[in-house]
Amino acid sequence: MTRKIRLLAVILLVSSFIAKAQQIQSPDGQLILSFELKNEVPFYTLSYKGQPVIQPSSLGIELFDDQWDLTDGFTLGQTETSTFDENWEPVWGEYRSIRNHYNELAVTLNQEEASRHIVLRFRLFNDGLGFRYEFPEQPNLNYMVVKEEHTQFAMTGDHKAFWIPGDFDTQEYDYTESKLSEIRGLMETAITPNASQTPFSSTGVQTSLMMKSDDGLYINIHEAALVDYSCMHLELDDQNMVFESFLTPDAQGKKGYLLAPCTSPWRTVIVSDQAADILQSTLTLNLNEPCKIEDTSWIKPVKYMGVWWEMITGKSSWAYTDVPSVKLETFDYSKAKPNGKHAANNEKVKAYIDFAAENGFDQLLVEGWNTGWEDWFGKSKDYVFDFVTPYPDFDVDMLQDYAESKGIQLMMHHETSGSVRNYERHMDQAYQFMVDHGYNSVKSGYVGDMIPRGEYHYGQWMVNHYHYAIEKAAEYKIMVNAHEAVRPTGLCRTYPNLIGNESARGTEYEAFGGSKPFHTTILPFTRLIGGPMDYTPGIFEMDISKLNPENNSHVNTTLARQLALYVTMYSPLQMAADLPEHYQRFEDAFQFIKDVAIDWDDSRALAAEPGDYITIARKAKGTNNWFVGTTVDENGYQSVLKFDFLDEGKKYIATIYADAADAHYKNNPQAYTIRKAVVTNKSVLKQACAPGGGYAISIIEVTDKAQTKGLKKL
């Protein structure tokens, strides 16, 4: 049962025009939030263990066609302070139970000449701050059109930052590590090509933004509970080191349409002097509303394979025939000439089903099964897919029966090609088709520019669409994995059928020229702060030319690091992305993918430094077994792992999948070793990680002494 405790009575304070600073501390007293009005403008500051984190930063919202902006002219009304403490259990997650404990300050600000008011609500947790704007229902502040939100985050210095360019349409960029002052000079090279992109500034960056100060503070800026509002980016004043919110506009340049009573999303600052604390923060989830789905029994983590990587690499195609264009209303596929490269055909899908079933997977994703792929991209085509009509070589009923006979479910694929109006027209029919044919999860995609034309992926209109799709899917008991959607902000707490997102540069880019080797040492500090990512790990063949001679891409990782990603890149939706024949070549390493859990009772960040290395241990749900993963950058790393997270007095068998001594992500990525040893909570492992490498460990509790026969103690 969830425990909710209101510990402090509401305190009402009446302030004069010259407002004294209001303060609250985090429950552990290490963080202090201060708020005050200066010349009728609201400001806040944040400190951690006596060190400033956010210097005085102004707050406000600028409106269109309004005599009074919500930026100044304020007097202080009542203030309320309170404390909240609960424990709640996620449907799936990194922890069996999550504590939601904060002190709160709610400040009413009056604009007396306009006869209206707003509320600023601050919540201070032990690991950071969340705050938002609230607009109570009132006669003189009802309909609002946002011109810009002016929320500032004033930094204390020229911090090291891990950033991607601010963009209204994509997050699929490699990260750049630099000083804040260097962002402007590096922006041009940081903006690499994408199917749809709209960068907006030479100093604009995206959240979640990870930084490290010279005095050793780790600072993360993001947002939580993005609902009916535009996605926030950050614009840097690089003379003063002040970030200011920069909302995604609509086709008319407007940033949002609000109707009171309503709120903004939470603006978040996570801070610690330990990098591992950032990885273990649950602040983003805690700022979201509790689960709104009454019966969640149908929502379950999924380990899956896919008819996908061979299309990504160019070995096969999504399209059934090679014609320049099709009109779905009139084109007769039964008379079309097959191109011979279409992957989603009956025999191949059956072979994938067989392999997935033999190796204990739950589901199989099949892309390119439905008509329309011949001219799906880049044509601004409205009626591009109908989401229910298969190609001639894909027998929906037969394949579903075959999958069911093998204990496998098929995973649906809905690519919209950005034609959102078309998707919404077909959504009920598409979801009902899934229910009728036994599909309970869908990978949706939003590749390309938006229709309606001029809208952006991260504007309010699209944010509302993604939310609508999740709610509609819940009506049909369908789990959603949205690709190219807005970056997550913890909404999976409220709608746990949002079981995954892409919303960042995933494994597919390893077949599009490659990603920087340090990429997976940064994503858990940035993209994963908002929720799990469908990163699609598990690539064993790094030379893409062996799949497609015309593609000279190289996957910048060792094989051992690919195993580690199943632990370090948290997701309840984990894919073994490579081809079955590649796993058959390395069956001993593939065993880890088969064994690793996807739902957890506990998680520990054991060692971490953004851009360098991450080591995480997770305890499989309902067991006493643990899994460990380490991912490192291009410089390699000497890991020292203490097993003190294990239960005292118990023995475990650790199977260690590590880089070989001569492994290297570029010239020897498939060199690995596997060894077993007996470990206890007193054991210590010293393990060298190759450049771009890492290691993975399965740790299984010993229940019979015979299990340890012939094994040495570590």
Residues acting as catalytic residues: 508
The number of beta carbons lying within 10 Å of the beta carbon of residue 188 is: 10
Chain centre to alpha carbon of residue 293 = 21
Rounded to whole angstroms, how far apart are CA atoms 577 and 535? Answer: 9
Q: Match 């609250």 to its residue by tokens.
A: 24
**Cα separation of 575 and 593, whole Å?**
9
Between the alpha carbon of residue 598 and those of residues 571, 601, 603, 648, the distances in Å are: 7, 10, 12, 25
Contact yes or no for 83/6 (Cβ under 8 A): yes
Reduced DSSP (H G I as helix, E B as strand, rest coil) percent helix, strand, coil of the chain, to 5: 20, 35, 45
Residue 259 near residue 71, CB atoms below 8 Å: no
Name the token pair of 517: 């080797």
CA distance 187 to 236: 12
Q: Find out whether 184 and 238 touch, Cβ atoms under 8 Å.
A: yes
Closest C-alpha among 619, 28, 612 to residue 272: 28
The amino acid occupying position 66 is: D
According to DSSP, residue 680 is labeled -
Alpha-carbon distance 372 to 333, whole Å?
Answer: 10
Three-state DSSP class for residue 25: strand
Nearest CA to 525 out of 440, 421, 612, 600 is that of: 612
Q: Which helix (H) or strand (E) holds 445?
A: strand 441-445
Cα 600 to the center of its chain, rounded Å: 17
**Alpha-carbon span 497 to 552, nearest angstrom:** 38
Burial of 295 per CB tally in 10 Å (0-12, 13-18, 19+): exposed
**628, 608 contact by CB (below 8 A):** no
Encoding tokens for residue 79?
């203030």
Cβ contacts of residue 234 below 8 Å, gap of 6+? 153, 166, 204, 205, 206, 207, 209, 221, 243, 244, 245, 246
Give the DSSP H or E segment for 346.
helix 346-358
**Token output for 451:** 């229709």
C-alpha separations of 586 from 178, 361, 395, 582, 670 in Å = 38, 17, 32, 7, 9
Task: Yes or no: say if 563 and 589 are a contact pair by the CB < 8 Å rule.
Answer: yes
Integer Cα distance of 446 and 414 in angstroms = 9
Instruction: Give the strand pairing for 573-575 and 302-307.
Output: parallel
